[in-house]
Structures are given as C-alpha cells and as structure tokens.
Amino acid sequence: MKKKEDVYGDHISHQFNEDLAGLKEDFLRMGGMVEQQVVDAIDALIDGDGHRADEIRGRDKQVDRLELEIDEEATRIIARRQPAARDLRLVISVIKMVSDLERIGDEAKKIAKFALSLSEEGKAPRGYVEVRHIGNHVGQMLRDALDAFARLDSELALRIMKEDKRVDEEYQAATRTLITFMMEDPRNISRCMSIMWVLRALERIGDHSCNLAEHVIFMAKGEDVRHTPMEEAEKVVGN
Amino acid sequence: MKKKEDVYGDHISHQFNEDLAGLKEDFLRMGGMVEQQVVDAIDALIDGDGHRADEIRGRDKQVDRLELEIDEEATRIIARRQPAARDLRLVISVIKMVSDLERIGDEAKKIAKFALSLSEEGKAPRGYVEVRHIGNHVGQMLRDALDAFARLDSELALRIMKEDKRVDEEYQAATRTLITFMMEDPRNISRCMSIMWVLRALERIGDHSCNLAEHVIFMAKGEDVRHTPMEEAEKVVGN
C-alpha cells in the first residue's frame, strides 16, 4: 500500500483498507478454486476418471456462490465507503473480473462433463496430446493472471495478453488436426467432437485469463487496454 | 420514476436523474446495435453474402468502443453521485450487462467470419434450417431482454430465463443432426464444422441474453437470481 493517505486524506479509514484487502483476498480464493477446477478437469479427462469429473461438477456450485458473495461485498463497499480513484477502479474491476472467473469455472465444468461421457464410452482415440498441451498453456495463463492481480504486476499482465495469441494459434492447429482424424475415420466423429468442445473450452479459458490481465493493467495504470492494439497496451505498461 | 425523492431526499438531483437516464439510453443504444449485428450475421450466413459479413466485422469496433464508454460513464456516476440502493443496483448491473452485450457482439462477429469463409468455399450443404431456427429464437430472447431492461419488466425477464432451456435443447438436437450429416458424408466435415461453431455461437447468445434477464430481475426486485433454481426465481418475481 503506497501511502494512500497522502492522496485521499481523511477519506481513508483503517476499516476501508480492511474491506478492500478482504475483497482482494476473496477474489483470490475464488481464483484459486477455479484454477484447481481447470487442472482437475483436464486430469479427469485424460485419466478417464469419471469419479473426479463428478466431483468437479459438484464443486462448481461453491464457485457460483462465491461469485454472488463477492459481488455483494463489492457493492457494499461502494455504498458504504464511497471509494474514489484507484480504489474505485479496484472494486469495479473485481466486479468485472469475477464474471470471468465464474465463466472459467463453467468451462471447467463443461470439460468435466465431456470427461464423464468419454470415460463411459471409452477413451477418445486422438487429441489428448493437444488437450494436455493447450490445457497446460491456459492453466499457466490463469495462474499468472491471478499472480498479476495479487501483485498488481502490469508487465506480467502484458505477457499474458501476448500468450493469448499463441493459444489461439495452437487451438486453430489442433482443430485442423482433429478434422483430419474425423475424415480418416468417420466412426470417431462423435468422440472427436467431444475433444473439439474441450479444446474450445480451453481456448475460452485463455480468453478469460486475458480479460483478467487487461483489468490488472487498468487497475495498475488507470488506462483501459481492452480492444486496443498490442502496441498501445505496451505503451501503457511502459515497455 | 417512482418518487425517488421520498426515499433519498436531498441526495437526488435533477442532474443525477439525467445521468442515470443517459446511462440507460446508451446501454439500449449498444443493445440495439448488437441486436442488429446478430440479425445481419445470420442473414449474411444464409444468403452467402460475404460483403455483408465483412461489414459486420467492421462494425464490431463501434460496439467495443461503446462498451468502454458505458463503463467509464457508470464509473463516473458512482464516483460523483454516490448512488444508493436501487440506483446503485442499476449502475452495477449495467457494468455487468455491458460485458454480456460485448460478448454477444463478439459471437455475431464469429458468425460473420464463418459466413465469409462459407461464402467463399460454397454454401454448406446442411444445417441452415437449424441455424435459422435457433437464430430466430435467440434473436427474440435478446430483443426481449432489452425490452425487459427498458421497462424493468421482471416477468418478461423470467420468461427469457425459461426460453434458455428450450434453446439448449434445440442446440443439442441440432448438434446431433450435424454429426449424422458428417458421418454420412465425411467430405462435408469441414463445412459442417463451420455450421457447428455457428450454432455454438447462437447458443452462447442465448446464454448471454439469459444473463441480461437475470440482471433485470435483480434491478427490479433486489434479489440475485443467478445460479438459483427456476422455482426460486419464480418466487422472487412473484408468480
């Protein structure tokens, strides 16, 4: 905390700082939970572990509950403490980012659903290499996004934004590969489609992690870098 | 406006009411733009109109710009006017909903991208009936969601939430049909996949419209019905 008292004077109370710290903490707790859901969903798929897939779907309810709680908490802080400037940016960003976390949780749940059906009908013949590879990649992006939030690290956030382009390329390549598999052996179409949806979910997780990163830059720098070219974002971060 | 002065007393100024009205207006303007994008994208796909598809992709930038402007506007209202209770709910809901609108715009852009590639490689043989049908359905949901917002109509919002289940069923059925087409003639796999992604985008538009509806109920009733069973939502709306 960089001497906020100098800027806001009396407005800042000890309780206010505690509220903000609590909000960040809860957000990171939800983030950690969602991160674990993603890891577990990929493992469940590749190991053909239907039991674990089932657990993931159950835990998604906890993620949903946390979303509602954090939204309420953020609204209460705005109503009671009337935050300004950087603090208001933090609270509003959390309100935005919590939707991204919830959707990442949803994507993990979808992967778990496919893990369950694939474990029942026998493993998918192809595409697991791609799932593991892209899964690791977006898992790292999500972890980094949460770290960047915790440390308000806009340089790390910028790197995540750049990674997203690579994930998109990997995703395109994997999709082409799977279409080839389907053409080679049409009996595999249905199972290949399941893998296709899983890849799609992973790509979305990359997108949402990228959204988180954009918000971190907004919090740290006060400039909104959504929908701006990468060169602009680089200037904002000061590279 | 139902005699807000009675509740907030001096806090409410003429300017404040104007700010809120301006925010709602801008949100509805963005909504109208996004709605048109969805309609145009489906038409471009079915008519094989690459030129129109190209225009949609260009107009997405305007949608993105509106998102940033509305977020800024909402943040400014919170900072300057310190809204409470129902007004704060409105502003925070707009902040949330504007992300849904932007994502609907993104999905329309994706559909336009497939429209463009399909128009170049010749029409897809199958699946257009399904696209038109589900497209009309989610288009109506989006229109209704914007109407429900404009009139704070929680009963209409509840009906949209119920429609979403039907869209999901239609989507599942359409997916199964397309998999059958692919199995029958593997040479069509690639083009069928494009239609598959379009259907997926439409299904997401239905989801986002449903999110909008949930926020309308929150604004009108003060109860958060996200992640609650339909019977709970019905009780909140008072049916």
pLDDT class for A174, splitting at 50, 70, 90?
Answer: very high
B193 in contact with chain A, both atoms CB, cutoff 8 A: yes
SS3 (DSSP) at B125: coil
For position B119, what pLDDT does the model report? 87
Instruction: Kindly state the average pLDDT of the residues A201-213.
Output: 98
SS3 (DSSP) at A196: helix
Q: Compute the nearest-CA separation of A226 from chain B (Å).
A: 8
What does the alpha-carbon distance between residue A134 and residue A103 come to, in Å, rounded to a whole number? 18
Domain membership of residue A6 (yes or no) is: no
Q: Compute the nearest-CA separation of B39 from chain A (Å).
A: 23
What does the alpha-carbon distance between residue B186 and residue A208 come to, in Å, rounded to a whole number? 34
A190 in contact with chain B, both atoms CB, cutoff 8 A: yes
Please state the ipTM of this predicted complex: 0.91
pLDDT class for A5, splitting at 50, 70, 90?
Answer: very low
Which of B171, B226, B236 to probe the A interface (max A CBs under 10 A)? Answer: B226
B204 in contact with chain A, both atoms CB, cutoff 8 A: no
Domain membership of residue A4 (yes or no) is: no
Q: Which positions in chain B touch A227 (Cβ < 8 Å)?
A: 61, 64-65, 67-68
What does the alpha-carbon distance between residue A146 and residue A32 come to, in Å, rounded to a whole number? 8
CA angle A179, B188, B198 (to 5 degrees): 75
What does the alpha-carbon distance between residue B180 and residue A44 come to, in Å, rounded to a whole number? 28
Q: Compute the nearest-CA separation of B128 from chain A (Å).
A: 20
What does the alpha-carbon distance between residue B139 and residue B40 come to, in Å, rounded to a whole number? 11
Beta-carbon pairs below 8 A across chains A and B? 78
CA dist B106 → A87, A162, B31, B198 (Å): 30, 19, 13, 12
The residue in chain A having the minimum alpha-carbon distance to the alpha carbon of residue B100 is A99
Instruction: Kindly state the average pLDDT of the residues A199-215.
Output: 98
Domain membership of residue B64 (yes or no) is: yes
> Residue A191: how many CA atoms within 13 Å on its side-chain side?
19
Domain count, chain B: 1
> Residue A131: how many CA atoms within 13 Å on its side-chain side?
30
Domain membership of residue B165 (yes or no) is: yes
Instruction: Kindly state the average pLDDT of the residues A41-69.
Output: 95
For position B65, what pLDDT does the model report? 96
Domain membership of residue B4 (yes or no) is: no
B182 in contact with chain A, both atoms CB, cutoff 8 A: yes
Q: Is B89 in Cβ contact with A84 (below 8 Å)?
A: no
Q: Is A227 in Cβ contact with B67 (below 8 Å)?
A: yes
What does the alpha-carbon distance between residue A162 and residue A210 come to, in Å, rounded to a whole number? 9
Q: Is B96 in Cβ contact with A65 (below 8 Å)?
A: no
Instruction: Kindly state the average pLDDT of the residues B198-207.
Output: 97
Give the helix, strand, coil percentages of chain A, each rounded to 5. 90, 0, 10
What does the alpha-carbon distance between residue A190 and residue A7 come to, in Å, rounded to a whole number? 60
What does the alpha-carbon distance between residue A198 and residue A204 come to, in Å, rounded to a whole number? 10
Domain membership of residue B229 (yes or no) is: yes
H/E stretch holding B10: none
Q: Contact A77/A20 with Cβ under 8 angstroms?
A: yes
Q: Compute the nearest-CA separation of B48 from chain A (Å).
A: 23
Q: Contact B91/B23 with Cβ under 8 angstroms?
A: yes
Nearest to A92 among B64, B95, B182 (CB): B95
Average model confidence (pLDDT) across chain B? 92
Task: Say whether pLDDT at B8 is over 90.
Answer: no
What does the alpha-carbon distance between residue A183 and residue A69 come to, in Å, rounded to a whole number? 47
pLDDT class for A188, splitting at 50, 70, 90?
Answer: confident
CA dist A36 → A31, A63, A198, A235 (Å): 9, 11, 17, 34
Q: Contact A113/A53 with Cβ under 8 angstroms?
A: yes
Nearest to A183 among B186, B224, B227 (CB): B186
Note the helical H segments in chain A.
4-8, 14-47, 50-81, 85-121, 128-151, 154-184, 189-221, 230-237
Give A81-119 pLDDT, tens digit per residue: 999 999 999 999 999 999 999 999 999 999 999 999 988
Task: Say whether pLDDT at B125 is over 90.
Answer: no
Task: Say whether pLDDT at B12 is over 80.
Answer: no
Q: Compute the nearest-CA separation of A70 from chain B (Å).
A: 12
The CATH number of residue A41's host domain is: 1.20.58.220
Domain membership of residue A7 (yes or no) is: no
Measured in degrees and rounded to the nearest 5, phi and psi for residue A49 equal: -100, 90
Q: How many CB atoms lie within 10 A of CB B37?
A: 25
CA dist B50 → A146, A221, B45, B60, B188 (Å): 41, 40, 8, 16, 20
Query: What letter does residue B126 receive in the DSSP assignment?
Result: S
Q: How many CB atoms lie within 10 A of CB A225?
A: 24
pLDDT class for A1, splitting at 50, 70, 90?
Answer: very low
What does the alpha-carbon distance between residue B188 and residue B196 come to, in Å, rounded to a whole number? 12
Domain membership of residue A2 (yes or no) is: no
Comparing A8 with B200, the larger pLDDT belongs to: B200
B75 in contact with chain A, both atoms CB, cutoff 8 A: yes
A1 in contact with chain B, both atoms CB, cutoff 8 A: no
Q: Is A92 in Cβ contact with B96 (below 8 Å)?
A: no
Q: Which positions in chain A touch B196 (Cβ < 8 Å)?
A: 193
Comparing A14 with A133, the larger pLDDT belongs to: A133
Nearest to B224 among A68, A175, A224 (CB): A68
For position B13, what pLDDT does the model report? 79
Instruction: Quote the strand ranges of A132-189, DSSP E.
Output: none
Full residue range of the structural domain in which residue B162 is found: 9-237
